[in-house]
Amino acid sequence: MIPAAVERNRHANQPVGAGPLPFHKASRVSLRYKNEWNQLMYRLFWLVCFVLLPCLLNGQEVRRAMIEEIQTVPVQANGEWTIGGKVFGTLPTTQLNASSKPVAGDLAVVEFIVRDGKFLATVIQPIGIKAANVNDGPYVIWKDASTAEVLMMTGGKVSQKTYKDITEPLVIDDLPGPVKSITLDPASPQTPKGTWARPSKLMAISDLEGNYQNALKFLEANKVINQQGDWIWGDGHLVLVGDLVDRGTEVTELMWLLHRLERQARKVGGEVHYILGNHEAMVMGGDLRYINPKYHFVTARMKLNYDRLFADDTEIGRWWRSKNGVETVGNLLFIHGGYSPVLDQAQLDVDTLNQRIRAGLAPAQPTGLTPATNPVKHQHGPFWYRGYFEQYAASWGGQATEEEIKNILKRHAADHVVIGHTVVDEVGPLDDTGAVIGIDVKWKDAEKCQGLLQENGELWRLSIDGKREKIEIGK
């Protein structure tokens, strides 16, 4: 049911394909310097899986992993390291994966075994971040209906503060971290409707993946926010088509920006639509393979798992769980991955589909075998579908036909389906029909940041410098 082309491993409540990858075996070489980012992400998956549940090897040795600060670096290659307050010896096969020699204060992923009570490093991999430079938060956990616990990290150190007797929206504007101000509202977030009339102007972007700085530049250049990051787009609508999390280093900052913009927009007749993607669902379900290494360090020091910070009793977690997975705004149908013809066979209306999506988010454990009964996990569900693209179509039973897409659009009274999830070279239609518009671009690269604008019935491609280019359908 779940394609290996989408994700590579089944984990917890989320859709992934094949079984776990084998543990990397250290090659028989002396300590050496290498820069292998893919190995880092690969090992961090095992860090998440095994830091609390180490497996026993040979009955005596315990293989473990951790991410912590380097305190001392040995002068000689076979010397001892001090990392996270632990002293690590090395082996002839120990690997040091780095482009330059690490120094005290750097963060590193360490794979190690415990032999005769001693810690022996098998892999040491610095991640290019200094512990003293790590700032993160706030993370808000609601302890009860009027009590909120706020967790922060400043300079690599964790702090916590509890706010009690919150009976109405409370603005906190003295936070020490990168996010200076948040609003705590004891009322549960309201579920947005799934069908909207066409607004005077609409902007859509997707797959920001924690690239907060480029998002700020883009929104400011296109007159959605001012230099202070506040909403100035009046009654315009901003549509976010999923996957705003994972990979990047400023996920928290991005979440609170959008959380604030949603409140500000509604006060002046505008709207922020946050449509969920597969990566939001993965984080909620504990599939943490794609979070930035920074967040492994943060949560290790907080002594909890990253998904705990997005559980259903947290501010961002309950906000996510109130959102839709598909919406129609005017003549545009927004969905993260795509609307599969297989899903369309169930003839679900938007509201019913969204209800089933919300019901399938963690901690739920959906078991349905069709995209209509298990839309969060099924490969033909809204988060995962890639059958509009020829290069991926084989994994989805063939490419969706023009007639199938036309029927989907007709049933939802739309002219275009707008999707993220699959990277395109530029924002625009996938073919001459203009039925499907792709908007997933590489937000890590400022030059490639683009969005979709609909104004006065016309479609435009927006760039990070505020320029616009008209999208001509069928040309």
**Residue 171 sits in the same domain as residue 242:** no
Which residue, of 117, 152, 184, is where some domain finishes? 184
What average pLDDT does this structure show over 184-202? 97
**Residue 229 sits in the same domain as residue 138:** no
**Residue 112 sits in the same domain as residue 223:** no
**Residue 78 sits in the same domain as residue 13:** yes
**Residue 101 sits in the same domain as residue 172:** no
Kindly state whether residue 304 falls inside one of the protein's structural domains.
no
CB-count burial class (<10 Å; 0-12, 13-18, 19+) for 86 = middle
Which residue, of 184, 219, 254, is where some domain finishes? 184
Kindly state whether residue 352 falls inside one of the protein's structural domains.
yes
**Residue 163 sits in the same domain as residue 72:** no
**Residue 177 sits in the same domain as residue 139:** yes
pLDDT on residue 77: 77
Kindly state whether residue 315 falls inside one of the protein's structural domains.
no
Kindly state whether residue 341 falls inside one of the protein's structural domains.
yes
Q: How many CB atoms lie within 10 A of CB 267?
A: 8
Q: How far apart are CA 334 and CA 183, in angstroms?
A: 28
96: domain CATH number is: 2.40.50.320
Kindly state whether residue 154 falls inside one of the protein's structural domains.
yes
pLDDT in tens, 2-51: 333 333 333 333 343 322 222 222 322 333 433 444 455 545 554 544 44
**DSSP letter, residue 314:** B
Kindly state whether residue 287 falls inside one of the protein's structural domains.
no
Kindly state whether residue 262 falls inside one of the protein's structural domains.
yes
Residue 228 has, within 13 A of its CA and on its CB side, a CA count of: 7
**Residue 464 sits in the same domain as residue 413:** yes
Which residue, of 146, 161, 184, is where some domain finishes? 184
Enclosing domain of residue 162? 134-184
266: domain CATH number is: 3.60.21.10
- Angle between helical axes of 293-302 and 37-50 (0-180°, round to 10): 30
pLDDT in tens, 313-355: 999 999 999 999 999 999 999 999 999 999 999 999 999 999 9
Q: How many CB atoms lie within 10 A of CB 101?
A: 10
What average pLDDT does this structure show over 198-226? 98
Kindly state whether residue 353 falls inside one of the protein's structural domains.
yes
**Residue 268 sits in the same domain as residue 416:** yes
Count of structural domains, the chain:
3
Q: State yes or no: pLDDT of 440 exceeds 90.
A: yes
Phi (first) and psi of residue 316, to 5 degrees: -70, -35
**Residue 39 sits in the same domain as residue 159:** no
What average pLDDT does this structure show over 461-469? 98
Phi (first) and psi of residue 222, to 5 degrees: -100, 20
**Segment among 67-71, 77-81, 235-239, 309-313 with least mean pLDDT:** 77-81
Length of the chain, please?
475
**Residue 359 sits in the same domain as residue 254:** yes
**Residue 269 sits in the same domain as residue 203:** yes
- pLDDT above 70 coverage of the chain, percent: 87
pLDDT in tens, 110-128: 999 999 999 999 999 999 8
Q: Of 65, 101, 70, 96, which is closest to residue 84 (Cα–Cα)?
A: 70
